[in-house]
Amino acid sequence: MLNAMTAKEVTKKILNNEPLFILDVRNEDAFADWKIEGASVKHKNIPYFDLMEGVEEILGDIPAENVLVVCAKEGSSVFVGEMLVEAGVKNVSYLKGGMKAWSEYLEPVKVADLADGGTLYQFVRIGKGCLSYLVESDGEAMIIDSTRMVDQYVSFIEEKGLKLVHVADTHLHADHISGGRLLREATNATYWLPPKDAEEVTFAYEKLEDGVEITVGSTKVTVQAIYSPGHTIGSTSFVVDDRFLLSGDILFVESIGRPDLAGKAEDWVADLRETLYARYKELSEELVVLPAHFGNMSEVGEGGLVAARLGDLFANNAGLNIEDEEEFRKLVSENLPPQPNAYQQIRELNMGKINPSDDEQRDMEIGPNRCAVHG
């Protein structure tokens, strides 16, 4: 019998370092661009069209049991999975919803209890590398850098008995579609955006500017905004509870942000260096950095949490240790990874200028996170 395995179940296996063998039946280029990753994961990529007449020839290349078949949307993996079962492979599963579902699943991870009451959570979009945050205190909540899968946040809020009062984006995102406006419309929460990133947006928002303090709950958990340009001209970080630095796409655990997704690489290099090498240097090294993305599974720690002490990043992150300014400029403006899929359309959508269908939005986001520059 062929089993269905959900994206949540796959995530749990990866975070628990359980062995997982994946037969990925997508085309070779799709597999090379983006796949399910993890320290305990092993892959075999054989395109579906090479298996249409049978799986006998590949039986020696895959385990005799415990195989997960993966495709783009589910159908092909079901077809191949059923053939594997008929061929005698035991405990065969397919990824329910395919890579589409993998891209959209959010794993809530508790970061910490807050000093004056409340809790900070990180939502790990493990298939895309996106990280978003929920601050809750005394029945109120704030979400930062929301993805478009707002139903998952709403379900979490309802389960906790919370009221969403604030939504914010650290910057105008180019690699994923923000759920900020949808959450505001669904809950009547206040939506905050950096005004320097919002000059072309078509909707109302509150200005997220340097020094703004946003209070969540009567216990006064304060989210303090810090202007930190470089990834975009308006990029703004948050300090939560005087302990956590939500760095947006400026600083990651193993890399730094890229300045080119609005076509302003040369103009924003100096801003990026100023933020990383001066503004962040003035902050306490004891702050725990919580970025808006991760690029490699090696950045995902115990229980799924992506975080690092700021002082440790200044010591170990290669992007924070380039003394020569010209070398830094070349790194972040010339030696860049491929740009995210449909990033220009994603920026326009996040400005409110276009309104694609749900399926079109899903296709726009397919692929890995590409917001980082690795030193």
Which of these is catalytic: 71, 80, 141, 310?
Answer: 71
d(CA 267, CA 269): 6
CB 80 within 8 A of CB 48: yes
Beta strands 256-257 and 119-125 are unpaired
Report the sign of the C-alpha dihedral through residues 346, 350, 356, 358, in that order.
positive
Domains, the chain, ordered by start? 3-102 (3.40.250.10), 106-373 (3.60.15.10)
Q: Which amino acid is at 157?
A: I
**β-strand partners of 280:** none
d(CA 217, CA 279): 29
Please state the φ and ψ torsions of residue 236, each to the nearest 5 degrees: -135, 130
Residue 371 bears catalytic tag: no
- pLDDT tens per residue, the chain (375 residues)? 999 999 999 999 999 999 999 999 999 999 999 999 999 999 999 999 999 999 999 999 999 999 999 999 999 999 999 999 999 999 999 999 999 999 999 999 999 999 888 999 999 999 999 999 999 999 999 999 999 999 999 999 999 999 999 999 999 998 899 999 999 999 999 999 999 999 999 999 999 999 999 999 976 677 888 888 888 889 999 999 999 999 999 999 999 988 865 666 677 888 999 999 999 999 999 999 999 999 889 999 989 999 999 999 999 999 999 999 999 988 887 767 777 778 889 999 999 999 999 999 998 888 877 776 765
